[in-house]
Amino acid sequence: MANPDKYVYRFGRFNTDGNRKMKHLLGGKGANLAEMSKIGIPVPPGFTISTEACRSTIKNSMKWPEELFGQVMEGVKHIETEMGLKLGDDKNPLLISVRSGAAVSMPGMMDTILNLGINDKVVEAVIKKTGNERFAYDSYRRFIDMFGDVVMGVGHDYFEEAIGKLKKEVGVEDDIELNASHLRELTDRYKAIYRKVTGHMFPDDPVEQLKFAINAVFKSWNSARAIKYRQISNIHGLIGTAVNVQAMVFGNMGEKSGTGVCFTRNPSTGESKLYGEFLLDAQGEDVVAGIRTPSHIAELQSRNPAIYKELVGYTRKLEAHYKNMQDIEFTIQDGSLFILQTRNGKRTGAAAVKVAVDLVNEGVLTKNEAIRDLVDPGHIEQLLHPQFKEDALNGSKVLGTGLPASPGAAVGKVVFDSKKAEEAAKEGETVILVRIETSPEDVGGMSSAEGILTSRGGMTSHAAVVARGWGKPCVAGCSDIVINYKTKSFTNGEITVKEGDWISLNGNTGKVILGKKELSKPEFSKEYRVFMDWVSDIEVMKVRTNAETPEDAELARSYGAKGIGLARTEHMFFKPGRVNFMRKMIIANTKEERVVALNNLLPFQKQDFIEIFEAMEGLPVTIRLLDPPLHEFLPQEKDEIEKVASELGVTTDILENKVNQLKEFNPMLGHRGCRLGITYPEITEMQTKAIIEAALELVKEGKTVLPEIMIPLVGSVEEFEHQRALVDKTAREILAEHGEKLDYKIGTMIEIPRAAILADQIAEKADFFSFGTNDLTQLTYGFSRDDAVKFLPTYIERGILKQDPFQVLDEEGVGQFVQAGTRLGRMVNENLKVGICGEHGGDPESINFAYNTGLDYVSCSPFRVPVAHLASAQAVLRKDREENTDEDEKVNSLLA
C-alpha cells in the first residue's frame, strides 16, 4: 500500500517513483512515463500528481490536500536538478508542460498547457540562451493563448482573431511567416486580450502559473465534454485525472528541431512499418490539432537518418515491453530525440488482427495474450462491416479524396451539425457528419453518424482518432471540398452538395462519392483466419446462430456456428405463396377450417425444415413455434384488405372484421407465443408434424438431425406442460407410424419474468432453456423496444441509463433473472441445457456475463458469430487471468 499522503511521483534518468502498474493512481500517461524512464527511454524528466489528489481536491471544493503544494515544489526541484535549469530563472530558465492523464486514454478531451514558466523576464533569458527571439516569443504567445483558454476560459478564438488580424496587417498568410517582432507584438496583444476578458493582469509568477494550471487540469475532469466522452465510451469507475508536469523540450527551435507522432505499425492495415507524421520547427499541438498538414514519418529517414534509426530502436523496445503496438509522441530538440509519450495505439479491426498475429509470430506475446488483449470483439465486428460492392463505385462521381482516416464504407445523408446528426439518428435516418474539423464538442454527432468527413486535419486529427476508436468510417482532411455552414452545403467547385443529399464515404481509400452506393459483405484476410483458428481452440461456451433460412445457416456454419439457437418459424409463413394459407387459417371460424389451411402450410414448413436441418447436419437446431400475434399476418390498410380479401375469396367485411377483432392494445403482451398454441392446439400440432417429418426424411438418408423444439413465451409450468404434451403426443404418433426413433428435445424460451423466478418448476419438465433477453428486457424494465426511442436517448444523456439495455444486457436487473433462471433450472434438472438467444447473444459484454453465469451457449446473428467467438474466448481467458493475478495487476487490467 502506497503512502496515503504521497501525491507526487517523480520520473527521469535518476529518480523514478512509479511504474506501469500504477495506472489507477498515475493515469495511463504518468504510469507510462515512469515505466519508460525505468527502461531507459529518453523521456523529459518530470513528476505526476496522482488521481487521488484530483479526487480529493474536487471533493474539497478545489482545496488541495495539505501535503500537495510542498510535494509539487519538491517535484519542480527534481526537474530542475535533472535538466540543470531553474523555473523562473533569468539565466537558465526551465519551462514545463502540464498535462492531464487519466487511467483510460481520452484523446482531445483533457486540456494541456505548454511553455509554463515563461514571463517577460524569462523570455529574455530564453532569447539569450537560444539566440532565437522568434522561438522565444512564439513560445510566450502560445503559452498565453493556452493558459488564457484553458485556465481562464478566454476562448481560443480571441487569440486566433488577433493573429489573423496581425497577419493581414503585415501581409503574410502562414503563421510561420511571422517574424520575431511580429510575435513580440502578438504577445503584447494577447496579454491585452487576457486583461480585457479576465479583468486581471496575466500572472508573471511561474509558481502561480503552475498552481493555476494544475487546478485547470483537475477541473477539466468534470467538464461537460469530458463527462460526455466518458458516457459515450462507457468509461466508468475512475476517480479523476492525474496531472503530468514535465520539462519542456522544444520542437520549434529551428530546422534541426521538430515534433511528431507515430504508430509502431500501421493502425489501418497493421503493416509492420512506422506510421505517423512529423513537422519540423513545430510543437506537438500543430500536429495533433490538424492545423498544419504534416509530412509522413517515412520522410524523416531522409531528413534525419540518425534520428530515424534511433526512433525505430525505441519503438521496438516499447512494443516488446508493452506487448502491444504503440502510439508514440516525440520531439526532436536541436538534434536530440525525446519520447514524450507512448500508449497502446488505437487501430482498425484489420490492423488489430494483423498486429496480433504478427506479434505472436515475432515471439513478442503468446496466442492467448494476443486473443485476450490485442483484438477487441469490436475489431472483429468492424471486419464484418459492409464495404462497397465491387462494381458499386464504377462510374461514380468522386467529389474529392481525403485521408483514409478510418476504414470501411458508409452511406448517409449529409448533415453539417452534430446536434442535427443526433436528432436525425433518433428519427432513424442514416447520416454522414460533414465538418471542417471536429472537436470534442462533436462527439455526440459523430457517435450518431454512419461516417465522418472533414475538410481539414490529418490522420491523427480529432476526427480520425475518435472514428478509428469507434470503428466508424472516416475521411479526413479532404481539402478538395469547401464547406459552408451557413448555406448548409459543400462544394468541390463543380458540384454543390446540400444538407440531406446522399453521399458515400470510402474510409479505405479516402474517396468521397456522390449518391448512395451499394454496400456488400466484407472479405477476410489470411491473418483473420489464423486468428479465428486460435480463438476456436480456446472457446468453451458454444456459439450458435439465429437463422431461419438455409443460406443464413450455411453462412453461420462457415463462420463456425455450432448449431442454430433460434429459428423463428413465423418468418417462413410470411413468404409469398404461403401467407394466404396463413391468413385463411386466421380467418377460419372453426377448428376444421383451420386444420385445412394448416395442412396446406405443412409441406412448405416441412421443406424449410429439411433444408435447415441439412445445412446444420449433425448440429442442434432450435426451432421456435409460432410466436407473433396473428394480426401481424393480416393487411392493415383499406386497399390491402380489399386486395387480400379477394385473393382469399371472402368479402372485405369479413376480413376487415377479423382485422379489427385481432387488434391489440399492447401486442407485445398480447395473444402470442404459447398462448396461440394453447388456444389453437392445431397450430402446434402442424408445426410439430412438419419438424418431425422433416427430420425423419433426413434420418432415413442416414443423416443426424438434432431438433430442439422451443415453446415460446412461457410464463407458467402449466403452459409448458400443455404444449409439451401436445408436441410429444404428435411426435410419438408420427414416429410410431414410421417405425423410427428420433432424439428430439423440448424446451422453452425464458423471456417472461415469471418464468425466470419459477424456473425450477419449468425445468422439471423441460430439456432446455433459452433466455430471450429481448423480451425479458422489455418486461423487466417495462420498456417497449419499439417505443423506447422516445425516452432512451434522454435517459442516456442524463446518465439515468449507462447504456441501451437492448444492446448491452442489464446485468443488475435482467441479469438477475438470467442468473436466477439458470440456478433454479439446474437445481432441479442438472442436464438442462441453457443458452441465450436475444440480441445480447452477440454483444461482447453480455457474452462475458453469459460465460460467468455458466450458460452452455450463446446464439446470435450469423455475422456476429465470429464476434461472439472472440468474446467467448476472452471471457475464458479473462476469468483465468483474474483467478491468477495479484490485486495491482487486476486494477491495471480493468483499465486496459
Cα–Cα nearest to 126, from 93, 97, 96: 93
Which residues within the stretch 637-666 sit at the binding site for a second copy (CB under 8 A)?
664-666
Question: Is residue 668 a contact residue for a second copy (CB under 8 A)?
Answer: yes
Which residues within the stretch 353-372 sit at the binding site for a second copy (CB under 8 A)?
none
Measured from the CB atom, is 96 or 788 closer to a second copy?
788
Least CB distance from residue 719 to a second copy, whole Å?
6
Check if the beta carbon of residue 535 is closer than 8 Å to that of residue 870.
yes
Q: Which of 75, 715, 747, 866 binds a second copy (CB under 8 A)?
A: 715
Q: Which of 783, 851, 857, 863 binds a second copy (CB under 8 A)?
A: 783
Cell of 723: 404444449
Least CB distance from residue 47 to a second copy, whole Å?
38
Backbone angles phi, psi at 833, to 5 degrees: -90, 130
- Residue 717 DSSP label: H
Least CB distance from residue 232 to a second copy, whole Å?
17
Measured from the CB atom, is 20 or 658 closer to a second copy?
658
Least CB distance from residue 223 to a second copy, whole Å?
21
Measured from the CB atom, is 504 or 778 closer to a second copy?
778
Q: Which of 670, 697, 765, 878 binds a second copy (CB under 8 A)?
A: 670
Least CB distance from residue 685 to a second copy, whole Å?
16
Contact code string over 2-41 relative to a second copy, x by CB under 8 A = ----------------------------------------
Contact code string over 737-766 relative to a second copy, x by CB under 8 A = --------------xxxx--xx--------
Rounded Cα–Cα distance for residues 67 and 73 (Å): 11
Question: For 6-136, where are the E strands, in sequence order?
Answer: 8-11, 46-49, 86-87, 93-94, 96-101, 112-116
Rounded Cα–Cα distance for residues 242 and 581 (Å): 68
* Chain centre to alpha carbon of residue 823: 32
Measured from the CB atom, is 476 or 676 closer to a second copy?
676
Which residues within the stretch 786-825 sit at the binding site for a second copy (CB under 8 A)?
786-788, 790-791, 794-795, 798-801, 810, 812-814, 816-817
Measured from the CB atom, is 410 or 424 closer to a second copy?
424
Measured from the CB atom, is 505 or 625 closer to a second copy?
625
Which residues within the stretch 149-178 sit at the binding site for a second copy (CB under 8 A)?
none
State the Cα angle at 616 between 611 and 621, rounded to 5°: 95
Helix (H) / strand (E) containing 31:
helix 23-38
Rounded Cα–Cα distance for residues 181 and 184 (Å): 5
Question: Is residue 779 a contact residue for a second copy (CB under 8 A)?
Answer: yes
Least CB distance from residue 607 to a second copy, whole Å?
31
Question: Is residue 376 a contact residue for a second copy (CB under 8 A)?
Answer: no
Catalytic annotation, residues: 462, 837
Rounded Cα–Cα distance for residues 206 and 94 (Å): 10
- Alpha-carbon torsion angle 140, 142, 148, 150, nearest 10: -130
Question: Is residue 716 a contact residue for a second copy (CB under 8 A)?
Answer: yes
Backbone angles phi, psi at 694, to 5 degrees: -60, -45
Check if the beta carbon of residue 474 is closer than 8 Å to that of residue 507.
yes
Least CB distance from residue 374 to a second copy, whole Å?
35
Give the burial class of 418: count Cβ atoms within 10 A of its Cβ; 0-12 exposed, 13-18 middle, 19 or more buried.
Answer: buried
Give buried/exposed letters for 155-190 (b at 16+ CB in 10 A, else e).
eeebbeebbeebbeeeeeeebeebeeebbbbbbebb
Which residues within the stretch 671-700 sit at the binding site for a second copy (CB under 8 A)?
671, 675, 678-679
Classify residue 131 as left (phi > 0), alpha (psi -120 to 50) or beta: left
- Alpha-carbon torsion angle 403, 407, 409, 411, nearest 10: -60
Least CB distance from residue 820 to a second copy, whole Å?
9
Measured from the CB atom, is 110 or 788 closer to a second copy?
788
Rounded Cα–Cα distance for residues 374 and 614 (Å): 37
Question: Long-range contacts made by residues 305-309, C-beta under 8 angstroms, separation at least 24?
Answer: 307/332, 307/335, 307/337
Least CB distance from residue 627 to a second copy, whole Å?
12
Near a second copy by CB under 8 A, which window of 13-21, 169-177, 783-791, 887-895?
Answer: 783-791
Measured from the CB atom, is 325 or 752 closer to a second copy?
752
Measured from the CB atom, is 550 or 667 closer to a second copy?
667
* DSSP H helical ranges for 681-799: 681-700, 717-738, 753-757, 759-763, 773-781, 792-797
Q: Which of 702, 782, 886, 887 binds a second copy (CB under 8 A)?
A: 782
The site that binds a second copy (CB under 8 A) totals a number of residues, namely 48
Check if the beta carbon of residue 186 is closer than 8 Å to that of residue 172.
no
Measured from the CB atom, is 367 or 675 closer to a second copy?
675
Least CB distance from residue 380 to a second copy, whole Å?
31
Cell of 136: 522565444
Question: Is residue 422 a contact residue for a second copy (CB under 8 A)?
Answer: no
Which residues contribute to the site for a second copy (CB under 8 A)?
Answer: 664-671, 675, 678-679, 713, 715-716, 718-719, 722, 751-754, 757-758, 775, 778-784, 786-788, 790-791, 794-795, 798-801, 810, 812-814, 816-817
